[in-house]
Structure 1
Amino acid sequence: MELSTLILITITACICLYYFILGKLSHFKRLKIPHVRPIPLLGNLGPFIFRRLSLPENLQKIYDLFPHVKYFGFYDFMAPVYVIRDPEIITTIAIKNFDNFCDHPDLFEKNEPLISGNLFSVKGDHWREMRKLLSPTFSSGKIKIMFQLMCECAENLTDFLVNDSGNIGKTYDMKDVLSKYGNDVVATCAFGISVNSFKHPNNEFLLLAKEASTFSSNSLKVLINKHFPLFARFLRLKLFSSRVRSFFKEIIADTVKTRDEQKIIRPDMLHLMMEQRDKTDGVMIDIDEMTTHSFVFLIAGYDSTSTAMCFLAHEIGINFDIQNKLRAEIDDVLIRTNGKPTYEAISQMKYLDAVINESLRLYPLAPFLDRVCVKDFELPPATPDGEPITLKPGDNIWFPSYALQRDPKNYSHPNKFDPDRFLNGEVDNSLYMPFGIGPRICIANRFAMIKLKIMAFYLLWRCDLEPDTKTRIPMVLNKKSFIMMPEGGFWLKLRARKSKAPVTLID
């Protein structure tokens, strides 16, 4: 090929690529929808990619630029996303017209078989069948049965902290401590494996769970797999190592075999899936799907829920008035239950409920919720002088939970940690969505809440929490992590509780 021909082809290819990108990034301009001018290829993610802002703060900054619109445009790399900030439209999309937006966008399943087909990612009728199958795992009755198992894990946690810190006190990275508790709860409640990660910190289950969860802190790897799956496949850029895949597939296979042979029945997710496996009608499920659902439950329990626990512990640790008020409620329960807290007693603690809800408001598990359009749907105009927009199948929608839950229009003094707002009826449920909203709400939200309650209950029952020199006040969010994390970690000083907890039963 002549040099001139090669140059011509290269120039032509570059021009085509330029106009392709330009076309992609002019979507909202054509529709006259408010948006921030995107950067080629990076869209509106530039501040996050270049580590100037965390991901939730990046979205919040643009959210704050358009205080009077119903929705605005955002470019997730080159993919246009409609970011909804009007509560009525959020309710319409997530609940009233759920059938038009019943799916999540594809994430990593093209490159990662270990999480392919999990409940978050499956779509349409298959999602409905799997949701119906797995929902009984997280009923109040099943959670009540698991309650004692979670309490035993909390006892292991506080036994370690009391003995290790003593009366002098010791500073801990709470993520390390509470991840062990989260790991042990999931191991016993989902996998039927009894693990004490405080006595045996090098147990294989914990080490592999820790390795598996590191993918969420590697924002570059996550983004390449999500947005450029072919490129990720070419680079063999896997989210999980072959060792992690093999371990969790083997552990599920061995557990299923043992339960089959010994006729073991446990009130957990795995047992429900084994029952479905043996049926001849309904959704079919095999060992690979069992592994997928159990593994995703592990990641959520070890990483996401433990992170929520860390934010909760941080706010309790730096707000002594709230800590004292919460401890008074805990002491009241200890008196009424003679030092043996029950599922009903902890479930009905109103102030504990409010403290956890306020922590989840400030630090939602996901900074935004996503949906993908599956049927044509007409959005009202974004602005008073705008035109309605018809969404087409494949169009992406975000609900910016972090920004909505820190908007002064929705919450008075939004950056203040104030549990009382959940006691006086100030909160609009359509503007509070830490576990999602509508039929796609997190299937394990009640399980996560009781897990958080038990941790906080036992921690304050037996320990005093206070800030350390390493504790950052106010907290600064990490600019590298794909999920919400603080810069420098979660550091608190803990010591054995100075005041004796009451355990005498009142006549």
Structure 2
Amino acid sequence: MFWFLVVGGLAILIYYVFVNPFKYWAKRGVPQDTIFKIWLKTVLDIIQYRPATDNLRKLYDDLSGKRYGGVYQLFTPMLCIRDPELIKQITVKDFDHFTDHFNFFPTNNEPLWEKNLFSLKGEKWREMRSTLSPSFTSSKMKLMFGLINDCAKQFVNYYEEQNENIVQLEMRDTFTRFANDVIATSAFGVTCDSIRNRDNEFYLNGKIATNFGEGVTGLLKFLIFTLSPKLANKLGLRFTKAEASMFFTNVIKSNIKSRELNGIIRPDMIHLLLEARKGKLKDEELEAIPKEKLTDEDIAAQAFIFFLAGFDTVATLMYFTAYELALQPDIQAKLQQEIDDILNNSNGSLTYENVASMKYMDMVLSETLRKWPSTFLLDRVCVKPYTIPPVREGEKPVRLEKGDAIMMPLFGLHYDPKYYPEPERFDPERFSDENKSKINPYANVPFGLGPRACIGMRFALMETKTVFFYLLAKFDIVVTEKTQIPIIISKTKFTLDNDVGFWMGLKLRKAKH
């Protein structure tokens, strides 16, 4: 009898711990895998059997013919949306039901994460977005263009001074250093030269801040954060190391103090945020009026998330753009012709208006973002009950409750041949004036959608266009013996990266202007 009770108790425990949690969507009539397949996928994810990008493409393909399906992030149920019209409904039309992001990691006791625009929820997010939006308009980007322009010229001049026929570089490191200098000057009011001064304090703290862990260590940290936030807090685990958080907070606070004491005005983000704090900037999109005055900590948090996006995400766009151009010199030559024409018609100088006018540059960057989106997926959390009505035969109404999580796999959408014929091929012509109208706008979302779309999109594109303008005016980007072809995405890293580096060469062009 005793052993019968023990076995029965174990069976009940196993059911409620290992089976019942994975019936969440099935109970609601949402298609999902069998329990065995769900556990198999979970195990394969844990042992990092394949890159996260491949996992997302497989997940998307496995739901072929369906608008949505039930999936699980470890023990957390998530509704995977793969239909562009349903994505539009959730992120735009019915946005008030899905205003928040899903927290993949706890951000307790980390003010730079708790208070930044990406992490904020509900009214606090709306108020902060309303406060920050005026700082990211085209007119404000034009104000900061000079800072970016100076960084780009300094960056390219360094390699031109090497006076070598071909300079071989690891492009991930190279563009991360450039992005560091741009964000340092435009968001923190600090001037760096990370190419010449390779161990400057700002760059080193950026590396620390963006190192979320790789391999076994990173995986264990991820599992603890995800499965038991309370245990993570007790163990003192942090998403960002304390010394890096303290560094960036102190830089902002001392910079603000110096400006206010000495009346310093500089055309950068700190200035714009200080103006917003004074109520001198008005939002052009949201009607909400900020109820709370921006504190120094609030400003530090926004500058920090802006730094992370620039340091890693924008650098990713740059080195994948360089990679595709190196592999396809005909596309590179066409882009260089556009650059040469601008230089010849503007006395060798670049203006904000020139940047905005480069159509082929836009096409190249749009195709890079399509093929290599550094944001793997979009996510939302249901903040009030919502029902997805049936549209196709066999569907049932899907009732979403407050707290239900939703994910939209960009890597699946961007590689779906239904929207992009020959998706593996790099083809900027997809985004020409003649062809871009054929692209479903909700199947091409590298910067997100709706009010939660990336607020720094204009800045990221302006920065990338500017550096490639100067780089391609002076150099051809070429393949070297160390270039990995085809690129193999890392299984162990949480970013879009490989394990051997992005090695390419800069070959001096013959002077044409």
Q: TM-score range by the shorter chain?
A: over 0.9
1:273 alignment counterpart? 273
Q: Is the 1:25–1:40 Cα contact (8 Å) retained in structure 2?
A: no
After the TM superposition, which of the residue ranges 437-446 and 475-484 deviates more from structure 2? 475-484
The 5 Å alignment of 1:250-399 reads: 250-278=250-278, 282-381=291-390, 384-399=393-408
For the aligned residue pairs, the C-alpha RMSD in angstroms reads: 2.4
Q: Is the 2:29–2:398 Cα contact (8 Å) retained in structure 1?
A: no
Give the paired residue count.
Answer: 496
After TM superposition, give the deviation of residue 35 of structure 1 in Å. 2.2
Q: Is the 1:173–1:492 Cα contact (8 Å) retained in structure 2?
A: yes
- Partner SS state of residue 379, structure 2: strand
2:20 alignment counterpart? 23
* 1:189-232 superposed Cα distances (whole Å, 9 cap, x missing partner): 11111111122111101111111111165454345324431222
Distance in 1 (CA, whole Å) between partners of 2:415 and 2:423 is: 5
2:209 alignment counterpart? 212
Residue 99 of structure 2 is aligned to residue 94 of structure 1? no
Gaps of 5+ in 2: 280-288
Q: Is the 1:114–1:245 Cα contact (8 Å) retained in structure 2?
A: yes
Amino acid at match of 1:494: L
Q: Is the 1:72–1:83 Cα contact (8 Å) retained in structure 2?
A: yes
Distance in 2 (CA, whole Å) between partners of 1:277 and 1:442 is: 21
2:465 alignment counterpart? 453
After TM superposition, give the deviation of residue 312 of structure 1 in Å. 0.9
* 1:399-418 superposed Cα distances (whole Å, 9 cap, x missing partner): 11111010001111111000
Q: Is the 2:476–2:506 Cα contact (8 Å) retained in structure 1?
A: yes
After TM superposition, give the deviation of residue 33 of structure 1 in Å. 2.3
Shift in alpha-carbon separation, 1:203–1:147, aligned structure 2, 3 A:
same
Residue 132 of structure 2 is aligned to residue 121 of structure 1? no
Q: Which residue, 422, 433, 455 being the options, matches 2:445?
A: 433
Amino acid at match of 1:63: Y
2:494 alignment counterpart? 482
Residue 61 of structure 2 is aligned to residue 64 of structure 1? yes
Amino acid at match of 1:442: C
- Partner SS state of residue 113, structure 2: coil
After TM superposition, give the deviation of residue 114 of structure 1 in Å. 2.8
Q: Is the 2:30–2:398 Cα contact (8 Å) retained in structure 1?
A: no
After the TM superposition, which of the residue ranges 212-221 and 292-301 deviates more from structure 2? 212-221
- Partner SS state of residue 215, structure 1: coil
Distance in 1 (CA, whole Å) between partners of 2:469 and 2:296 is: 37
- Partner SS state of residue 211, structure 2: helix
- Partner SS state of residue 506, structure 2: strand
- Partner SS state of residue 210, structure 2: helix
Amino acid at match of 1:490: F
TM-score (norm 1): 0.92
Shift in alpha-carbon separation, 1:249–1:229, aligned structure 2, 3 A:
same
Distance in 2 (CA, whole Å) between partners of 1:193 and 1:428 is: 41
Distance in 2 (CA, whole Å) between partners of 1:289 and 1:38 is: 44
Q: Is the 1:105–1:396 Cα contact (8 Å) retained in structure 2?
A: yes
* 1:65-89 superposed Cα distances (whole Å, 9 cap, x missing partner): 2210011111110111111111111
Shift in alpha-carbon separation, 1:374–1:255, aligned structure 2, 3 A:
same
Distance in 2 (CA, whole Å) between partners of 1:381 and 1:94 is: 18
Gaps of 5+ in 1: 503-507
Distance in 2 (CA, whole Å) between partners of 1:348 and 1:204 is: 36
Amino acid at match of 1:414: P
Amino acid at match of 2:336: R
* 1:30-89 superposed Cα distances (whole Å, 9 cap, x missing partner): 233222335699684433321221112112112112210011111110111111111111
TM-score (norm 2): 0.91
1:234 alignment counterpart? 234
Shift in alpha-carbon separation, 1:129–1:39, aligned structure 2, 3 A:
farther
1:505 alignment counterpart? none
* 1:292-342 superposed Cα distances (whole Å, 9 cap, x missing partner): 111111111111111111111111111111001100111001111111011
Residue 100 of structure 2 is aligned to residue 103 of structure 1? yes
